[in-house]
């Protein structure tokens, strides 16, 4: 099972939750690592949609939108990230708004380091009217009674903080991120429900297929990503192949799913679609997961000071 499942246990004093996930990691860079803010230098608008396990009742639907750019006057990047996650057909809804700042420093002529800091305001709400209980069932007529359980839930809000680090050259990149540094309480009932810290490590390289050309239009990009949040962990390995405007990719999420991806990218717009084929015990029931991404890359006037942008996959 992936890391994108939210768990709510109404009968427990303490509950645990997980962050929603996006398969197209680099198509949602600010969500992956706050250090990505401003890495494209010019303004960038990113939109993502994910429908996880649509065949199950109460599917998980997650959307996000972000904007970021490098700002020379503050020697760093600024970013804004908004996400919305709806579980159980809107029974449990989480909305987050994040502001991000990142600072870039050249370590050598070929290697740069970027650090990012993120502050988030989130709101989680539970629609009690959409829940069903055993005492509502009539053996013959089904759900016809009112539950005798005491209504709980409502809305809770809190602040959250995250940080990330990114190192890159023209060929390779490596990053780490830690989300939910203060493990904020997100309990919807009496008690404590800390959101566990999420640790992410990712690395990869962009290797030209034609090594005689420095900026080849064709390249391959092997990648690895590891996440851990609470008791849940995830390891992904994959490979992207880029040929002109076309991008194809395949990933394996260990003990969970195979992922196929196809994308089209130009200097202005990038569009990607991916499908997760579940290989765990949930295979017959999930119908996989669908994800769509779109990035609009705006142009801007060149700066006098040289800016090194990161060379990594767009999806």
Q: Is residue 9 part of a domain?
A: no
83-117 pLDDT per residue, tens: 999 987 778 899 999 999 999 998 998 899 999 99
By the 8 A CB rule, do 30 and 295 touch? no
Q: Cβ of 216: how many Cβ atoms within 10 Å?
A: 14
What CATH number did the domain enclosing 189 receive? Answer: 2.40.160.40
CA nearest to 20, candidates 115, 119, 92:
92
Domain with 158, as residue range(s), is 25-297
Asked if the structure places residue 20 within a domain, the reply is no
Distant-in-sequence, close-in-space partners of 107: CB < 8 Å, separation ≥ 6: 113, 167
Rounded Cα distance, 136 and 91, in Å: 18
> CA dist 30 to 97, 102, 151, 250, 290, Å?
12, 11, 37, 22, 20
Q: How many Cα atoms occupy the beta-carbon half-sphere of 41 within 13 Å? A: 13
Return the SS3 of 285.
helix
Q: Is 75 a member of any domain?
A: yes
pLDDT band at 284, cuts 50/70/90? Answer: low
Say whether pLDDT at 274 is over 80.
yes
Answer whether 59's CB lies under 8 Å from 50's CB: no
CB 210 within 8 A of CB 218: yes
186-214 pLDDT tens trace: 888 767 889 999 999 999 999 988 766 55
Radius of gyration of the chain (CA): 21
Task: Tell me, yes or no, whether 257 lies in a domain.
Answer: yes
Assigned domain for 226 exists: yes
Task: Give ∠ CA 195-201-207 in degrees, rounded to 5.
Answer: 150
Q: Residue 140's pLDDT is what? A: 77
Kindly state whether residue 107 falls inside one of the protein's structural domains: yes
Residue with tokens 């903080």: 161
State the total domains in the chain: 1
How is residue 246 written in tokens?
């076309």
Determine the pLDDT at residue 211: 65
Q: Examine residue 315 and state whether it is found in any structural domain, yes or no.
A: no
The three-state secondary structure class of 144 is coil
Pairing of strands 207-208, 60-71: unpaired
pLDDT at 150 over 90: no
Structure tokens, 256: 């969970």
> For residue 285, is it within any domain?
yes
Least confident range from 56-65, 148-157, 165-174: namely 148-157
Alpha-carbon distance 87 to 21, whole Å?
Answer: 13
């Amino acid at each position: 099972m992936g890391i994108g499942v939210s768990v709510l246990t109404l009968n427990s004093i303490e509950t645990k939750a997980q962050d929603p996930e996006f398969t197209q990691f680099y198509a949602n860079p600010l969500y992956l690592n706050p250090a990505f803010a401003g890495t494209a230098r010019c303004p960038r608008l990113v939109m993502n949609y994910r429908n996880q396990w649509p065949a199950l009742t109460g599917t998980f639907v997650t959307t996000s939108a972000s904007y970021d750019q490098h700002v020379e006057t503050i020697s760093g990047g600024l970013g804004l990230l908004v996400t919305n996650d709806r579980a159980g057909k809107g029974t449990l809804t989480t909305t987050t708004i994040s502001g991000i700042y990142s600072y870039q420093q050249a370590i050598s002529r070929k290697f740069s380091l970027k650090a990012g800091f993120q502050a988030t305001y989130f709101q989680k709400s539970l629609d009690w009217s959409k829940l069903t209980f055993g005492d509502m069932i009539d053996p013959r007529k089904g759900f016809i009674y009112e539950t005798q359980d005491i209504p709980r839930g409502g809305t809770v809000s809190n602040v959250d903080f995250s940080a990330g680090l990114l190192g890159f050259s023209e060929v390779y990149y490596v990053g780490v991120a830690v989300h939910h540094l203060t493990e904020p309480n997100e309990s919807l009932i009496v008690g404590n429900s800390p959101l566990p810290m999420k640790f992410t490590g990712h690395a990869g390289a962009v290797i030209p297929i034609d090594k005689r050309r420095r900026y080849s239009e064709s390249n391959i990009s092997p990648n690895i990503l590891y996440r851990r949040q609470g008791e849940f962990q995830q390891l992904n390995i994959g490979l992207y192949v880029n040929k002109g405007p076309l991008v194809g990719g395949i990933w394996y999420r260990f003990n969970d799913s195979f992922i196929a991806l196809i994308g089209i990218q130009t200097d202005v717009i990038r569009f990607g679609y991916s499908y997760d084929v579940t290989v765990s015990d949930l295979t017959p029931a999930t119908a996989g997961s669908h994800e769509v991404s779109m990035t609009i890359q705006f142009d801007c006037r060149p700066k006098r000071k040289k800016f090194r942008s990161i060379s990594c996959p767009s999806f």
